[in-house]
């Protein structure tokens, strides 16, 4: 999921900001690698904490038979 998300976002931002110069692929791959290195560890650290908050905010009763 991290690979797909970071590649799409970096592609979009670079194409909007720079257009498509002849060096687009190398710029995009470098930016994607940086985004991936930053995003994946953050997702692994932040996601469980956000899940805890959501669980506390939306507590549901478990029904048993």
pTM: 0.66
Contact present, 6 and 36 (Cβ < 8 Å): yes
pLDDT at 65: 64
- Give percent of the chain above pLDDT 70: 91
Query: For the chain, what are the domain ranges?
Result: 2-57
Query: Which residues of the chain have a pLDDT value below 70?
Result: 61-65
């Amino acid at each position: 999921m991290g690979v797909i998300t970071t590649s799409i976002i970096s592609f979009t931002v670079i194409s909007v900001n720079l257009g498509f110069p002849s060096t687009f692929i190398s710029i995009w791959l470098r930016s994607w690698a940086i985004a991936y290195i930053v995003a994946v560890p953050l997702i692994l650290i932040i996601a469980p904490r956000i899940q805890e908050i959501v669980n506390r905010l939306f507590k549901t009763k478990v029904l048993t038979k």
